[in-house]
Amino acid sequence: MNKKDKIYVAGHTGMVGSAIVRRLMELGYHNFIFSTSKETDLRKQDAVFGFFENEKPDVVFLAAAKVGGIFANNTYRAEFLYDNLMIESNIIHASYLSGVQKLLFLGSSCIYPRLAPQPIKEEYLLTGLLESTNEPYAIAKIAGIKLCDAYRAQYGCNFISAMPTNLYGPNDNYDLTGSHVLPALIRKFHEAKKNNVNEVVLWGTGTPLREFMHVDDLADACYFLINNFNEPGFVNVGTQVEISILNLAYLIKDIVGFEGEIVYDRTKPDGMPRKLMDVSKLTTMGWHSSIPLEAGIRNVYNQLNTQDWF
């Protein structure tokens, strides 16, 4: 990728897309193509094909997706499957038709079987049953990987895929019915402290183990991969550091300064019992994450206190 390339970041206003734009701008890239969801509905084939025909991007970062936490995934199952299938199918096919030089598709660690061996290697894909609460989203992301590989095999397209672990950072979703666990906990503890509430409710048992990565780390990994990875299959992107949901809650409680109690709502699902990515494929290529979890969360919360993100 060079500075003259026309770069299209699909989903540039979201957490991942905006982080990619920030990182590229820091590195001196400014030849971007932007289009909001109101301007181009990525679920509609004619709109996407027309956009690509007019703009003819050289490089595409496919970060657009319908995303959410356990509640949203499990409640809006048809939307999560349909919307994500349409978005990725339209963009990948339009990229082929318009002669895009390189495309990076971003998936999710939820593509792996619920009981996959840990840490999770790329080859564990499709070796077992998925976690039922996010199965529609996972199926859509698996389809995106296979689309990239199929277009590479049949048409010679340089389309690659990366599977990031759980993310957090600027422009995250803090809606309690649709967000992921880390931003949801930040909001719960923040509002409990602000409103002098004595307790914060933690969904599930608190025992699941998760890995969390600052989205700026992912953006840096995306830049690395767009310049260094040119193979079928996909690459895990993560920190390979895990923490229980309960310990995450205590960490955020301390960062926010909440002095009340944590109580459990065991009627809510836990999701996968453990989800730790094996990132040896990426580290062997030469990339490593650099933002520690506590420092990353503190930075996010400090920004939240100066901006109206809630």
Residue 200 in 3-state DSSP? strand
> Is residue 280 a known part of a binding site?
no
Whether 222 contacts 162, CB under 8 Å: yes
Q: Which positions are annotated as active-site residues? A: 137
266 is in an annotated binding site: no
Single-letter amino acid code for the residue at 11: G
Place of tokens 């390189």: 102
**Contact present, 270 and 276 (Cβ < 8 Å):** no
Q: Is 35 annotated as a binding residue?
A: no
204 is in an annotated binding site: no
Binding residue per annotation — 298? no
38 a known binding residue?
Answer: no
* Cis-peptide, bond into residue 119, ω within 30° of zero: yes
Residue 86, annotated ligand binder?
no
CA dist., res. 269 & res. 8, Å (int): 37
Angle among Cα 265, 107, 153 to the nearest 5 degrees reads 150
Nearest to 164 by CA among 79, 275, 85: 275
CA-nearest of 303, 26, 8 to 168 is 303
Q: Is 13 annotated as a binding residue?
A: yes
210 is in an annotated binding site: yes
Q: Is 12 annotated as a binding residue?
A: yes
16 is in an annotated binding site: yes
| Calpha distance 45→55 (Å, rounded) | 15
The response to whether 178 counts as a known ligand-binding position is no
Q: 106 labelled as ligand-binding?
A: yes
Residues with Cβ within 8 Å of residue 308, at least 6 apart in sequence: none
Round to whole Å and give the CA distance between 88 and 304. 31
Binding residues for NADP(+): 11-17, 106-109, 141, 164-167, 180
Binding residues for substrate: 188, 203, 210, 270
Binding residues: 11-17, 106-109, 141, 164-167, 180, 188, 203, 210, 270
